[in-house]
Amino acid sequence: MSGLIRLRRVRTPDWYDGLGLELEVPAVPGTAFHLWPQEAWGVAGEAGANGDDWEFVRLSHLRDLTEHPDGSVSYRTCGLYLSDVEFAVRIVPGPDVLEIEYALANRGSRRRYVTIAPCLQLPEDVFGGEATARRRERVWVVTRESGLTRISGTRHADEPGGKPWSQIYYSDGVPSRPARHGFGLSPDTAAAGFAAAESVDGRAVAAVAAEDVVATGYALMNCLHVNPGRWCGPGESRTLRWRAYFLAGAGLDGIVDRAERELPRLHVR
């Protein structure tokens, strides 16, 4: 629809056969963001399909994938490694914000802490285009140790793949914390579900946010991550919401103010 972020299905890399969407964003014209709305999911502390506590969500897991006349996209999951956990997902675009609602149902007999990992990939021509070591200067996260800070102001445990800007930060509310992470696991603690990146020219800011946070970070594909999660008891349903913001001219303060206003339990500063 006119004036809204436009969603279009695109191919994903050979190693990830999940749902990929291209986002045409009015606030950042002439370029495109890529979104994997549910790159992975998992249950904290329980081994998943790959031996870790997560699993890629593949196209084969999706049912009733529908592109609606209002520009939104919806689907439900089926056949995940824990078959008693199901999601109904709706992706709703606005003029400068995109919201994903994950309706989670636990049909099993155990209480579980369920996590979701969306992935927002930033266009290289706007948010890249410089030495990789410099990227940590333009990406912001919120940690218990430093508050709202650039990634360069946090502690790094390692530098995966020679990309020193890639780092993940776990919340202290998670039932289990991995000993390592393929994106690089910082010893610092995520204090809010917020991660933002400033464009190279300083004119635009993109951010991802959620109130129920498992982990945040910036990873190998020039991508922002805020992974929401919640406890869900036997026979219960829960809803998780994740938002991506795209603002031009408002700066970091403007995007923080907007996210905190629209997500009441999010406290960035």
Domains annotated for the chain, with CATH where assigned, are 6-262 (2.70.98)
Task: Please check the confidence at residue 179 and state whether its pLDDT lies above 90.
Answer: no
State pLDDT tens for residues 85-124: 999 999 999 999 999 999 999 999 989 999 999 999 998 8
pTM, full prediction: 0.93
At position 203, the amino acid (one-letter code) is: R
Give me the long-range contacts of 152-157 (CB less than 8 A, separation at least 24): 154/186, 154/188, 155/186, 155/187, 155/188, 156/184, 156/186, 157/184, 157/185, 157/186, 157/187
Confidence of residue 138 (pLDDT cuts 50, 70, 90): confident
Highest mean pLDDT among 42-51, 96-105, 197-206: 96-105
pLDDT-above-90 percentage for the chain: 62
> Of how many residues is the chain composed?
269
